[in-house]
Amino acid sequence: MAKKGASISGFPEWLPAERVVEQGVIDTLRRVFELHGFLGIETRAVESGASLLKKGETSKEIYLLSRLQEFGQDDDTPVEEHLGLHFDLTVPLSRYVVENSGDLVFPFKRWQIQKVWRGERPQEGRYREFTQADIDIVGNGSLPDHYDVDAPLVMVEALEGLRPFGLPEATVHANNRKLSEGFYRGIGIDNVDDVLHQVDKLDKIPAIEVSQLLQSEAGCTPDQAAACLALAELQASDGDQLRQTFTSLCSQQGIDQTSDAYQMAAEGMETLAMIIDEAARIRPGSVIADLRIARGLDYYTGSVYETFLDGAESLGSVCSGGRYDNLASQGSRKYPGVGLSIGVSRLVSYLLHSAGATTSRVSAAAVLVAVWNEEERSVSDHIASSLRSRGIAADVAPTAAKLGKQIKYADKLGIPYVWFPAQEDEPDQVKNIVTGEQTAADVSVWSPADDYARQAIVVAGKGN
């Protein structure tokens, strides 16, 4: 038996009205994704430990599976050989693409909205079990760079669709791993992955602490750490500005423009400049270059993205991702991809608790059919069944209570219409309990007004 107050930290459960908001968010995202030609899939909840560790996460964040009879027994089996719950949707996608490559049409554009599990410390907006919404575009052998522009712009449009829920305007901050790696190598740093892991913490801890970590954990000299932070401070809203500021910094650091390191950085810079300029042409101001974006995950090879909400910077990034060329492969065949992921549960938490999102309809039913007495309940059931056969969601009053109580029940659930079955010489009637209007109705032709035919999300409180 469940006990009140026995909730488990990091595993959110929404009340019915909150679930309506969550479902509205999911439906909006899915609609935008499909408008852009993305195909929906769902993958299994478990993957091999070897697959899960590909992303560079520590084994401490993976929930491993074991049966109760195995609990407490010594187990020397390596993590790689266990099964574990997936902690994101990108690693499962890479496995899915390889296994089904013969049946997929490339470039494969997929959307996926599914639960994931991650063993991190629960805090506001961060959970151990949560819903993610991903889009990815995966090529067979190659993938054109223009998809590095398309993917973040689709996510911007999807987040724009959540503005009626109270979501602020979103801006994608983009960088390129080749740009960062080339710069780091140009100033004499070899352990690039360690540097990226530390730079990725700039949104979480002060720059002075990141500098100390760069020296203590990544082996940087004080001058190298300062140069890394100087790179991270660069932002640009157009390609020319990016080229000028980056070239100037490289000159200040004495990086040889004929070196392989500089050529790598320049390649990344040109890709990033293209993304910023193309995005500005299609959706001005939606994507900016921000060289602090590191995405400290090992498999990214090019473009990387983080998305922030205006006025809600403390929430951190709500949508992130990037380009990966080597995550999915089969022999010599590679399946490069680019994608982004929205933390749906984080967004819903923000909308409910900060933006004040709520719903005027808890129940999906548009009509509650009243019951005059229990002996005639079958009449009410038949009316509800007839309405449902025509696609109109209907419920039946739980008891033959006084009409006032039945109407109050409908009002609590946000059901806008109450249907009164015919009595003696009176025909069936429908009452709009929002406007108070009551009219005769024929169950074979009556339909609710468009405004009441669906669940309506409204914004209240701070977001209003």
User: Phi and psi at residue 201, in whole multiples of 5°?
Assistant: -90, 0
Query: Could you give the CA distance from residue 410 to residue 377 in angstroms, rounded to a whole number?
Result: 17
Contact in structure between 329 and 335 (CB atoms under 8 Å): yes
Other beta carbons within 10 Å of 451? 9
d(CA 265, CA 291): 12
Is 145 annotated to bind ligand? no
The answer to whether the annotation marks 213 as part of a ligand binding site is no
The pair phi, psi for residue 74, each rounded to 5°, is -65, 135
CB-based contact 370:31 (threshold 8 Å): no
The helix (H) or strand (E) run that includes residue 148 is helix 147-160
90 in a labelled binding site: yes
Both tokens of 35, joined, read: 């408008």
132 annotated to a ligand binding site: yes
Q: Is 234 among the annotated ligand-binding positions?
A: no
Q: Quick one: tokens of 212?
A: 């100390």
**Rounded alpha-carbon distances, angstroms, from residue 11 to 31, 45, 65, 92:** 27, 16, 17, 22
Rounded to whole angstroms, the Cα distance separating 226 from 212 reads 10
Q: Classify strands 129-138 and 39-40 as parallel, antiparallel or unpaired.
A: unpaired
Q: Supply angle C-alpha 163, 164, 166, rounded to 5.
A: 65
Contacts of residue 190, defined as CB under 8 A and 6 or more positions apart, other chains included, come to none
Largest CA distance in the chain: 95
Give the contacts of 79 (CB within 8 A, at least 6 positions apart): 49, 53, 59, 62, 64
Has 127 been labeled as part of a binding site? no
44 annotated as ligand-binding: no
Binding site annotation covers 244?
Answer: no
Q: In the numeric block, which tokens belong to residue 1?
A: 């038996």
Looking at 179-260, which runs of residues are DSSP E strands? Answer: 235-236
What is the C-alpha to C-alpha distance for residues 331 and 333, in angstroms, rounded to an integer?
5
409 known member of a binding site: no
Binding residues for L-histidine: 88-90, 118, 132, 136, 295, 299-300
The binding site comprises 88-90, 118, 132, 136, 295, 299-300
